[in-house]
Structure 1
Amino acid sequence: MRSVTATAAQASSIARSRRAGKMALKLAAVAAVVALSGCSWFSSKKNPNPPAPLVEFTQKLRVQTAWSVSVGKAGNFQFSPVYAAGSIFAAGNDGTVVRINAQTGQTLWRARTDMSLTAGVGSDGSTVVVVGEKGRIQAFDANTGKPTWNAQAASEVLSAPAVGEGLVVIRSIDNRVTAYDADSGNQRWMVQRNVPSLTLRNAPGIVIGSQTAFVALPGGRLSALALNNGGPRWEVPVGDPRGTTELERISDVSGVPALGSRDICAVAYQGRIGCFDLLNGNVRWIKEFSSDVGVTLDDSYVYAADVGGIVTEFSRDTGAVVWRNERLKNRQLSSPIGAGKAVAVGDYEGYIHFLSREDGSFVARLSTDGSPIQAPPVSTGSSVVFQTKSGTVVSVVTE
């Protein structure tokens, strides 16, 4: 069966309808058509799940925009910034690639590819890599912004490349994971994985560490591949496909796995959230959860937003729920991230909400350019950086 893609909103809506009555098969058929054609079948006059209104509160935390830089609109794709070597690297759909001083916001260089970009950016501070139309890969020297090599992926790429330990690792939508030499662009190895018949059109990510590429995959799998040859070290199910229809069985790992010194955490759509031992994949803890935007972690906690807009802080050691904030329902949140004394999360109107690390209550709010914040934010240690759908890269600092 040919693989097709659907948005999380489409899949979730149909899955609920399926459980509600006999119209499920008809709806599933319509959704498959929608996924293939790109039609806006789900845009109705009355939204059955309206976004929660903004909550009024007394601001308890001082937050401010340190700097903002325009990169270029994301179009129908997702672009998130990356932090490396004291800089923020970012890209836009129009082919723009930039390096920004993370502290001052000064644009150190700005390059332009000859193609529309579909994913990026990845960098280790030495090599910068983006991916464009029809799977074309372009690398740049991180210091000068000069192009260094080109390569060709097997098919379209929606996930940002992972760059580290001398390699560039890319997953294309045909579920091939390919590694290229970071200096020359020569292919080092390739692993072909099975493609589920129906997947979300999102960007499950890759993270590199401990001589391993940790790859989030459609079908709910988290795979650890040896960097030297692509051989499997271990693989765990974050989400097991369940249900009777293909839509109900979508269980793709979402976002970029969160890598720690001893564990790695991940979440799946219509699946689970959990943390796993870095060396052997043994489950440290796992819980039912559904998210299409991924997780982040710090020394003590794991942060996630579910598909309904509920933000949860989990104990990193045990998985116990520390708190939940249910007052951002249906606001199409980004993945949350620790920001000083708070947890920051973006929404569909370009707001960044700051929640108390202690109890999840609102402590501050900041507006950006009014466009959705869907891409995962990154931390520089002293600030958090978000990229909006309209292409504004904004650095935010807290007291």
Structure 2
Amino acid sequence: MRITEKVIAASVFAMLAGCSLFGSKDTKNQPAPLVELKGGMVPKTVWKYSMNKAGTAVFTPAISGESVYVADGDGVLARLNAASGKEAWRVKTGVDLTAGVGTDGEVVVVGGKKGVILAYDANGKELWKGQASSEVLSSPVVGGGVVVVRSVDNLITAYDAKTGVKRWSVARTTPALTLRNAPGMVINGPNVYVAQPGGKLLVLALAGGLQRFELVVGEPRGATELERVTDIAGTPVIFEKDVCAVSYQGRVACFDATTGAPHWSKPTSSDVGVAVDQRFVFVSDDKGEVAAYSRESGSNAWKNDKMSYRRLSTPVSFGRAVAVGDYQGYVHFLSREDGSYIGRAATDGSPIQSDPVIAGSNLIFQTQSGTVTALAVE
């Protein structure tokens, strides 16, 4: 499974080669063949835009108003019209990028090689350049006048969004082994919610970095360090008054976003994030199964096991469907109500690892080869 390829030793911030440390790929768990579809939903490709390859990084498009911002591993940052895909501008940062994109519509931020942080205005003009303490894999987030960056040594730092002056920093310990992924962050009101190694969700005040509270999504269990890896996967999602997240070898859980009071949790294991809508919380687990849980009670509503080991992306609730990408660049559409297969669309044949985003009536995916695709459904 891909998960053993993403586990790293964290001491001295040395990023050891994951799969060489823990063994070769599992040859028994082969990806399930594509399910034959008869009728159902027919997704339409609205537009495509070509970026360069992501390399070992994962770049998630960022939406603000009518614009979508995209980046790639070769250092290109672009702003597109989210409805048409028309390019507004495209700049070469001059640095190989490793993380992004974060924006509040006025400031656009990406992370570069060796921890470089680059901030631009909405017109593509460079505002400032900063330096993180180590490599940056998580997309920076922008809000409340600050840019928040998490580096792989688990130092969380806030910079003034307009000037790049450091406002505050919070250092957190890192377990001996962690996933080489990009634990996400989300800003909501006066707080920033930071996914953590070890199954914790840290909530900090944007104004000064003071800890509001800490939530336990997954608790380390097992006799070995590898068995005890339980990092939060993907980006926490805030929907109305709930904040929900999922961890590897842990749980999917929802809490009160204001107080941290737990609502419910269920055992699962995922190395990508969750999706939340009015009724459900959706999870793609590390075996390739997609499950829906009641947002109110946590009871299991349905599970689809027809995509086993297809290395699924974070799902997204999109109209009457739940969409999820896979390792061959396919986007699968499942019924939101019962999880049955209702449609499929192809992109460019390369893995979809970044989170899908919604812009108006378009659903946008970015592949590891750099194709940005906007899909629409009836």
> Normalized against structure 1, the TM-score is what?
0.90
Tell me, in whole angstroms, the C-alpha distance in 2 between the residues paired with 1:159 and 1:140: 18
1:85 aligns with 2:40: no
Tell me, in whole angstroms, the C-alpha distance in 2 between the residues paired with 1:35 and 1:177: 19
> Which amino acid is the alignment partner of residue 92 of structure 2?
R
What secondary structure is seen at the aligned counterpart in 1 of 2:91? strand
Instruction: Write out per-residue CA displacement over residues 311-350 of structure 1, whole angstroms, 9 at most, x where no aligned residue.
Output: 0111111111111000000000001101221110000000
What secondary structure is seen at the aligned counterpart in 1 of 2:197? coil
CA shift in 2, pair 1:11/1:168, >3 Å: closer
Other-structure match for 1:374: 353
How big is the shift at 1:43? 4.3
CA shift in 2, pair 1:148/1:35, >3 Å: closer
How big is the shift at 1:99? 0.6
Tell me, in whole angstroms, the C-alpha distance in 2 between the residues paired with 1:170 and 1:290: 26
- The match for 1:189 among 159, 168, 174 is 168
Instruction: Write out per-residue CA displacement over residues 151-185 of structure 1, whole angstroms, 9 at most, x where no aligned residue.
Output: 11111110000111211101101111001111111
What secondary structure is seen at the aligned counterpart in 1 of 2:221? coil
What secondary structure is seen at the aligned counterpart in 1 of 2:16? helix
Tell me, in whole angstroms, the C-alpha distance in 2 between the residues paired with 1:262 and 1:94: 39
Other-structure match for 1:112: 92
> Which amino acid is the alignment partner of residue 113 of structure 1?
T
> Which amino acid is the alignment partner of residue 320 of structure 1?
S
Question: Which segments of 5 or more consecutive residues in structure 1 lack a partner in the other structure?
Answer: 1-5, 13-27
Q: How is 1:1-399 mapped onto 2 (pairs within 5 angstroms)?
A: 8-10=3-5, 36-37=16-17, 42-43=23-24, 47-142=27-122, 144-399=123-378
Tell me, in whole angstroms, the C-alpha distance in 1 between the residues paired with 2:197 and 2:24: 26
The answer on whether the counterparts of 2:83 and 2:360 sit within 8 Å (CA) in structure 1 is no
Tell me, in whole angstroms, the C-alpha distance in 2 between the residues paired with 1:126 and 1:385: 21
Tell me, in whole angstroms, the C-alpha distance in 1 between the residues paired with 2:188 and 2:88: 27
The answer on whether the counterparts of 1:339 and 1:383 sit within 8 Å (CA) in structure 2 is no
What secondary structure is seen at the aligned counterpart in 2 of 1:36? coil
What secondary structure is seen at the aligned counterpart in 2 of 1:191? strand
> Normalized against structure 2, the TM-score is what?
0.95
The answer on whether the counterparts of 2:147 and 2:158 sit within 8 Å (CA) in structure 1 is yes
How big is the shift at 1:280? 1.1
Other-structure match for 1:17: none
CA shift in 2, pair 1:192/1:7, >3 Å: farther
Tell me, in whole angstroms, the C-alpha distance in 2 between the residues paired with 1:121 and 1:242: 34
The answer on whether the counterparts of 1:7 and 1:202 sit within 8 Å (CA) in structure 2 is no
What secondary structure is seen at the aligned counterpart in 1 of 2:312? coil
Tell me, in whole angstroms, the C-alpha distance in 2 between the residues paired with 1:108 and 1:381: 18
How big is the shift at 1:195? 1.1
The answer on whether the counterparts of 1:83 and 1:380 sit within 8 Å (CA) in structure 2 is yes
> Which amino acid is the alignment partner of residue 359 of structure 1?
D
Instruction: Write out per-residue CA displacement over residues 117-160 of structure 1, whole angstroms, 9 at most, x where no aligned residue.
Output: 01011111111000101100000011x11111011111111000
Percent identity between matched residues is 51
What secondary structure is seen at the aligned counterpart in 1 of 2:240? coil
Tell me, in whole angstroms, the C-alpha distance in 2 between the residues paired with 1:324 and 1:59: 21
Tell me, in whole angstroms, the C-alpha distance in 1 between the residues paired with 2:311 and 2:23: 15
What secondary structure is seen at the aligned counterpart in 2 of 1:219? helix
Instruction: Write out per-residue CA displacement over residues 4-63 of structure 1, whole angstroms, 9 at most, x where no aligned residue.
Output: xx9623479xxxxxxxxxxxxxxx99xxxx97245657446x811000000112131121
What secondary structure is seen at the aligned counterpart in 2 of 1:8? helix
Tell me, in whole angstroms, the C-alpha distance in 1 between the residues paired with 2:235 and 2:71: 17
Other-structure match for 1:23: none
The answer on whether the counterparts of 1:68 and 1:105 sit within 8 Å (CA) in structure 2 is yes
How much is the aligned-residue C-alpha RMSD, in angstroms?
A: 1.8
Instruction: Write out per-residue CA displacement over residues 350-397 of structure 1, whole angstroms, 9 at most, x where no aligned residue.
Output: 000000111111111000000000111111131211110001111111
CA shift in 2, pair 1:7/1:204, >3 Å: farther
Tell me, in whole angstroms, the C-alpha distance in 1 between the residues paired with 2:152 and 2:362: 33
The answer on whether the counterparts of 2:109 and 2:120 sit within 8 Å (CA) in structure 1 is yes
How big is the shift at 1:277? 0.2
The answer on whether the counterparts of 1:11 and 1:248 sit within 8 Å (CA) in structure 2 is no
What secondary structure is seen at the aligned counterpart in 2 of 1:395? strand
The answer on whether the counterparts of 2:5 and 2:18 sit within 8 Å (CA) in structure 1 is no
Structure 1 stretches of 4+ moved >6 Å? none
The answer on whether the counterparts of 1:266 and 1:274 sit within 8 Å (CA) in structure 2 is yes
